[in-house]
Structure 1
């Protein structure tokens, strides 16, 4: 999704950020098209508010406050549209991540019931703590699924791994056993985090485009409401 660079808008909101995510490729980009579309709407929406601000400056029938409120009206419409799109895409990504994790973890969970799984975990737990991650890592890389899946099934403490070490090994297992699905999961997780981090930036960018703090705009609107009420009497 090609969008021309606009120096008035933060590059953090540019949709090209999606292409830099871990796992992004021609094979996985379809899973994060929604995130790219959300950023596209945010980036172009902020740019449009900047354009509107320039346009209303030529409207001599409005006061400075009137111009600001008119631009803010547009900014609020943009924010409502973009916020709803962000929420929808984040919900879709969350659902997709859950489905991908279930798919990736199914073989591991199934292996937990293997007759020798408990013995394998006990064996690993009996090792020096520093040797345990390396032992499981070696099992993964040589394709020893019985050992790797038994070790990674269930909570990390069953075979004496730290939660962080267990998570890293599980990711390595997924990359080895199902690289396409692992890349899909990685890019969706990255897109979800990206949208979560950029959501607040949209509000800030729109405030900058309007050129006035929301509290100042609110006071302008209150003053206009009082004047309209007085004129209506």
Structure 2
């Protein structure tokens, strides 16, 4: 009989340790908040999670040591952000597997408005998600700029389209050019990867989209409606 220890996958222990990092509600709250792609101070995260600063500091230390977060210090402030796109995709993919609880409905008009804004359009780390992300993905696919036959892939026409639209694609990293990211509200994949990040960055920098408040929600501006209608044939009503 083979020794079980010699046949065990050596990655099992590390996978269990990684799962353990997410298997805590306070740490999960922090990871979800950091999906906005920005750096948060430890104090901001502590208030957001509703725990003492000392408690959160311990949690952040574990997340940094586990490779899910990266940190930097500026003066007396400690800033943390998701370590990279892989960490963000892990959190978003896990969130997409969690079915919404109908009992947890927003209790206030403000909370309901915030939830509606996130469903309509938001950033998922560094790319666009929600109905906006799906609408853009569908438009790119319909025009054969994006292929979904065997995973997501930009077509040659798609690469040319990005260039013609003035959206630079930097391929200097090992990150996939196009990647499917399961949308946790739409339950369908939207465009991520280098191309998804470039599109999101251009949409925000050019004024096609603007952030709503201080969270992840974004909305399409009037100039964005005109641009996306001209470039992808999307009806403005589908972007609101």
Give TM-score, length-normalised by structure 1: 0.25
Q: Which structure has greater helix proportion?
A: 1
Q: Which structure has greater strand proportion?
A: 2
Q: Which one scores higher on RCO, CA 8 angstroms, separation ≥ 6?
A: 1
**Structure ID, larger Rg:** 1
Give TM-score, length-normalised by structure 2: 0.25
